[in-house]
Amino acid sequence: MNYFLTGGTGFIGRFFVEKLLARGGTVYVLVREPSLGKLEQLRERWGVDDTRVKAVIGDLTSKNLGLDAKTLKSLKGTIDHVFHLAAVYDMGADEESQAATNIEGTRAAVQAAEAMEAKHFHHVSSIAAAGLFKGIFREDMFEEAEKLDHPYLRTKHESEKVVREECRIPFRIYRPGMVIGHSQTGEMDKVDGPYYFFKMIQKIRHALPQWVPTIGIEGGRLNIVPVDFVVNALDHIAHLEGEDGNCFHLVDSDPYKVGEILNIFCEAGHAPRMGMRIDSRMFGFIPPFIRQSIKNLPPVKRITSAVLDDMGIPPSVMSFINYPTRFDTRELERVLKGTDIEVPRLPSYAPVIWDYWERNLDPDLFKDRTLRGTVEGKVCVVTGATSGIGLATAEKLAEAGAILVIGARTRETLDEVAAALEAKGGNIHAYQCDFSDMEDCDRFVKTVLDNHGHVDVLVNNAGRSIRRSLSLSFDRFHDFERTMQLNYFGSVRLIMGFAPAMLERRRGHVINISSIGVLTNAPRFSAYVASKSALDAFSRCAAAEWSDRNVTFTTINMPLVKTPMIAPTKIYDSVPTLTPDEAAQMVADAIVYRPKRIATRLGIFAQVLHALAPKMGEIIMNTGYRMFPDSPAAAGSQSGEKPKVSTEQVAFAAIMRGIYW
């Protein structure tokens, strides 16, 4: 047999051609000239040459598919089946392109099939042709379609109408459900349908442990089918005798609700499941015009748009959450009876769908997620850059090609660090500054802006930590003043200095090196934690004001790091700590991924515990407070003797890894 296909190089087409080749036929594939290379690659995949799969140069949107008279003459009377698969399947595509491809493309395919005098015309339509019909849509229904407002629904309906009213050769119509990847391999070619929610699921997985239940939506039933079912059914039905003029729903007869689908993919992606799902019908008592008015309020529209954009979900997709249509399959069941062709249940193949997406289609895979790709040629400012976390961060940024501005209080040390980084090829600009001095901060900001014009990334790392019990601090109010002056006021001064240029350019990233103590409410660190908490609160407020201007904030609740800052507390020599390089990698991740917060799981757990069971959290922290004494220096002793560490202390510190005591 001889077959002619439009869309033969598309997602469904590439699998369908393989089925036709297995029947021993010759396949003619309509391609645009620029796509010849793609067809050649597919021939290699199919294991055939151009004698089995022949390219026919044309254009879907031109009369007779753009085929010239010579080509049409050569094909006349030789084609047994024309399969029209080509269409725009993108929900976000503009109306003009959808109309040109879906409606006029179908008309051109019908014209070409008639000019070839093909024996059969097979139109691959879609369940979208039913619009948003409420109830059960049968295979013999068409005119009953309703709510065709969306361009995709309307153009798929109109394209099917072209076949029904204009095609003068025997035709068959197929309405596949929402086609996703292959049930055995997961192969898919683009993000569409349920895939739009995968990024949301992935983000939830990164934010919460798998055992934490979440709240979601119930929604309507989405008819999802794997591509292998569609091509198997299409191949079988197309070659049956006596089925001309019929329409077949290539769908799942028992589809899942949106909430069930999300939970199935949450399980496949090892993300928390939605323990409670809200059914929109609960709000049915609210008059529709009121619901619509609320949805159209500018603040509501803006919030909705921003959230969907962050999740990578096109707004048009949300109109299908409460999909109202069920599809009757009696004709499909009749023609598939006695075969092994059936729709597999989604839970059985969801893991391979998820795995293929995460390995091949995740949008993050196509972004340059290297530190060099993020900061090369960008102005990055690191305070406190001559030791510890700041120095390790500066080394990574210099190596990645940043225009690196480093600031520190001691001129000699600053010059040494700058020289060492420049010797390794870094583009270094060192400016002395005491970040606890507001006038010095202003001078630093002016110098940086005068020399570099703007700042792309500001890393507020310079800080002061004091470990001392409150009972030893009654006459040391200056401890609280000093930590607040540097950790809070100094950082805010820099943010307020650099922010105007960031806002004007609509680009900027502020990274604050905070502490796990902010999450755990660490005893003995009241002065330090309070200053860092103040900076956290300021940053949250600023982020809320500047969110729509692309100036973002990241807080890193850093666990215990072995730096000169903790050196005076000798007991830390015997407890688990991060290295400065490990801490600097957290900063690098913050620069690349721009999350709102980076914290350890233990830190997040401590924050949740303090929110849900504050007394329990208080008891745990008090236990640690009593187990670990103040350092001799904090108690006023000049003894340099290293305190002895008990087995219990080591065990407790290991369990509470990274927490300050």
DSSP states along 421-458: HHHTT-EEEEEE--TT-HHHHHHHHHHHHHHHS--SEE
Q: Measured between alpha carbons, how far is residue 281 from residues 68, 214, 293, 450, 592 in Å?
A: 55, 20, 18, 59, 42
Q: How many CB atoms lie within 10 A of CB 404?
A: 29
Helix (H, G, I), strand (E, B) or coil at 319: helix
DSSP 524-575: T-HHHHHHHHHHHHHHHHHHHHHGGGTEEEEEEEE--B-STTTTT-GGGGGS
Q: Please name the residue ranges forming H helices in 246-375.
A: 258-268, 288-295, 298-311, 330-336, 346-356, 371-375
DSSP bridge pairs for 556: 513, 598
Buried b (16+ CB within 10 A) or exposed e, 146-166: bebebbbbbbbbbbbbbbeee
Which residues contact residue 389 at a Cβ distance below 8 angstroms, ignoring those fewer than 6 apart? 461, 513, 558, 561, 563, 580, 583, 584, 587
Torsion over CA of 152, 155, 158 and 162, rounded to 10 degrees?
A: -130
Q: DSSP code of 656?
A: T
Contacts of 364 (CB under 8 A, 6+ apart): none
Task: Give residues with Cβ within 8 angstroms of 237, minimum separation 6.
Answer: 172, 174, 243, 248, 335, 336
Out of 323, 431, 488, 528, the active site residue is 528
Total residues found in the chain within this entry: 661
Secondary structure (3-state) at 281: helix
- Characterize the bridge pairing of strands 256-257 and 221-222: antiparallel
The crossing angle, in degrees rounded to 10, of helices 438-452 and 491-505 is 30
Instruction: Name the token pair of 98.
Output: 């959808």
Q: 147's torsion region: left (phi>0), alpha (psi -120 to 50) or beta?
A: left
Cα separation of 324 and 136, whole Å? 9
Are 522 and 621 in contact, with CB atoms under 8 Å apart?
Answer: yes
Kindly tell me the burial class for residue 138, based on how many C-beta atoms sit within 10 Å of its own C-beta (0-12, 13-18, 19 or more): middle
As to burial, measured by CB atoms within 10 angstroms (0-12 exposed, 13-18 middle, 19+ buried), residue 114 is middle
In whole angstroms, give the CA distance from residue 200 to residue 213. Answer: 15
First to last CA, the chain: 79
Instruction: Report how far Cα 347 is from the mean position of its chain's Cα atoms.
Output: 22
Helix ranges, 366-410 (H): 371-375, 388-399
Which one, of 109, 121, 33, 28, lies nearest residue 75 by Cα?
Answer: 28
Residue 528: active-site member: yes
Q: Is 243 helix (H, G, I), strand (E, B) or coil?
A: coil
Query: For residue 556, which of 586, 524, 523, 593 has the smallest C-alpha distance?
Result: 586
CA atoms of 383 and 398, how far apart (whole Å): 14
The catalytic residue positions are 528
